Chain A
């Protein structure tokens, strides 16, 4: 079955440092979504990427979808304490019957 792995599992940075999480799928994806889950909260949708090689930015966050549509990355520039949480990618294979498979998640801790 489809597997979606993320690395690293955990990263601890100082405020102001950059952060990147990588998402790798065992199968080609039709699209990829990213979610953020704050401690004690629920996942919240951040963005969806659809096209091969697509890059999207949201303020300090940059999302990229690989050319082969099997991997993706999220880069945060100059982290802030409000960035703390777990970041999940979620991929869907092609086809109407395909389910959304969540990645293993990367937990980000930011300290002053």
Chain B
């Protein structure tokens, strides 16, 4: 099976611009989560989508949004970029929405990430 793919891999934007990142999960996986990784803040959860619905959201401003399509592919959008948005954005897919502690297959399969630099 092909792994999680993310495009683009690298992106340079300027303050005030907006950006859209794309994630294709592993075939058959219906849950897609997005994380922001920075040296100072570590791995911060952005949101999780399952069956085209946002199921969970982290503590990020409304400038961060996302969506999931019927084929489980997901996009996230950041509007009015700020310098502090520079980070590695990671997408992770899971076979299902995590719920029962006994679901041993809700591990996250991460993509290679998109490195966003805001100048």
Check if A and B associate: yes
Binding site for B on A (CB under 8 A): 1, 30-31, 33, 35, 41-45, 48, 50, 88, 90, 92, 94-105
Q: How far is the CB of B42 from chain A (nearest CB, A)?
A: 5
Given the known interface contacts A99-B58, A102-B43, A104-B42, the answer about A30 and B107 at a Cβ–Cβ threshold of 8 Å is: no
With contacts A48-B104, A105-B43 known, what are 19 further pairs, Cβ within 8 A? A41-B112, A42-B90, A42-B112, A43-B43, A43-B90, A43-B110, A45-B108, A88-B43, A92-B98, A94-B101, A95-B99, A96-B97, A96-B98, A96-B99, A97-B56, A99-B45, A99-B56, A100-B108, A101-B45
In the bound complex, residues from chain B placing their C-beta under 8 Å from that of A88 are: 42-43
In the bound complex, residues from chain A placing their C-beta under 8 Å from that of B108 are: 33, 35, 43, 45, 90, 100
Cα-based distance from A88 to B42 in the complex (angstroms):
10
Cα-based distance from A45 to B26 in the complex (angstroms):
15
A-B pair count, CB < 8 Å, reads 59
Cα-based distance from A35 to B101 in the complex (angstroms):
17
A-B interface, 9 closest residue pairs, ranked by CB to CB distance from nearest:
A96-B99, A102-B43, A30-B101, A45-B107, A42-B110, A99-B56, A31-B101, A43-B110, A50-B101
Binding site for A on B (CB under 8 A): 33, 35, 42-45, 48, 55-56, 58-59, 90, 92, 97-99, 101-102, 104, 107-113
In the bound complex, residues from chain B placing their C-beta under 8 Å from that of A31 are: 101
The answer to whether B98 touches A102, judged by C-beta atoms less than 8 angstroms apart, is no
Given the known interface contacts A99-B56, A102-B43, A105-B42, the answer about A48 and B107 at a Cβ–Cβ threshold of 8 Å is: yes
Q: How far is the CB of B48 from chain A (nearest CB, A)?
A: 6
In the bound complex, residues from chain B placing their C-beta under 8 Å from that of A50 are: 101-102, 104
